[in-house]
Amino acid sequence: MFVSLVRIDANFSFSSLSDSFQQGIPAKALRYVWLPQEAYPLEEFQVLGNRGHERQSVTGATGFIGSHIVYQLLAKKIKVRAVVRSAAKMKSIFPDAGAELDIVELHSLLDDHDEALKGVSAVIHTALPAFFKGANTEETFKGAYEGTLNIVNQAIATGVKKIIVTGTAMNLFNSNFEGAYGTKVLTDKDFGSVELKDINLAEMEPFAMYQAAKTVADKKLRDLSHKHPNVDFTMRERSRDLGLWANSAPTPFVYGLIAGGPDGPNTYPALNPGHVVDIRDVAKAHVLALDAPAVAGRYKRMIINTSTFKWKDAVEAIRKAHPELEERLPSADAVPPAQTDAPMDTSSASEVLEWKERIPWEASMVAAIEVCLEHERRFKA
């Protein structure tokens, strides 16, 4: 059984579901949370009771990761201050949150966060520049690097003692992705070699800029953690996240399996991530970090990854769960792209968070494709 926590706007329509994924869905259009009742076995993990009397700040709270974090916090009766670009969008996602959800509207990561930081005991920073929605190189750099440092430095100045930042596994290797393939184990001690002086706004593409900016921000946060040992810093280096959406629309990462790749129907999407983690586990790792003990002099950098997968195995998992999709899935002779497969050491997350169980990637893939199907049914109705 599935629970609709937020309803869809029946008056919304657009010509192409695929186009909508690429362009983003307007704030007023779609607010449908499609979650199985078993999607959040929240009794599996506990957050200390005193968190219920404090307020936690979550930036990017309407995004893929942020909305899941807010959902889990509210489900645990933890008060949230959501920092978002659109208060109306946030209210449409969580219309029944009441006083537990406080919303602060800021239009830039470079803005003054004084109001957003008042009275909060922790900051969970997930907000990202939307380079995939058309942000240029400069905007991407300002959001991923300058915006992150702006928020973190303001939080420190305000007296916040716990700061959790969403990173990416791309911080672990260079822009040529060489370290993402092969047998060498990636650990939380690994960083891409890029430095701030190497970043060239005039020459880099937005995606390369995103990786570079996130990596140098990661290194800067490490330095800040040593400079401010009284502040508990945690960096979450997550792999490719997928699964159920808690706010708006499915991800094209999975939709491409049934919509067709760049070579047409029944081909694979031209995407190379092979490391994957369920979005619910990504959110859970952030929530658990609220009560993870501080480690003196240590920058708590943790890799959040479930496993690696192959596109052909993903197709088989989807075909098994939904045989009616046979004609839409990549054909048997279709050739998938090479995928990242280097082993990742996730022991730090397991030990510090005392967290062992993760959602199998097959379940994440099927859940994500089911969201795609649900949206197709609604938009074509």
pLDDT digits (tens, 9 = 90+) for 158-193: 999 999 999 999 999 998 898 999 999 999 999 999
Give me the long-range contacts of 196-203 (CB less than 8 A, separation at least 24).
196/145, 196/220, 199/141, 201/137, 201/138, 201/141, 202/137
Question: Regarding predicted confidence, which is higher, 210 or 47?
Answer: 210
Choose among 266, 360, 277: nearest CA to 319. Answer: 266
Q: What is the DSSP string of 214-279?
A: HHHHHHHHHHHHHH-TTSEEEEEEE-EEES--SSS---HHHHHHHH-BTTBTTS--S----EEEEH
Domain ranges (residues) in the chain:
2-380
Name the band, by pLDDT with cuts 50, 70 and 90, for residue 328: very high
Question: Regarding predicted confidence, which is higher, 367 or 30?
Answer: 367
Strands 120-125 and 101-105: unpaired
In the chain, % helix, strand, coil (3-state, to 5) comes to 40, 15, 40
Per cent of the chain over pLDDT 70 is: 82
DSSP bridge partners of 55: 79, 120
8-state DSSP, 102 = E
CA distance 33 to 141: 31
Name the band, by pLDDT with cuts 50, 70 and 90, for residue 105: very high
Choose among 37, 27, 36, 29: nearest CA to 8. Answer: 29
CA distance 14 to 70: 29
pLDDT for position 375:
81
What does the pLDDT average to over 153-159?
97
What does the pLDDT average to over 320-325?
97
CA distance 117 to 164: 14
CATH 3.90.1150.10 fits 2-380, yes or no: no
CA distance 247 to 321: 24
Question: Regarding predicted confidence, which is higher, 2 or 101?
Answer: 101
What does the pLDDT average to over 36-52?
45
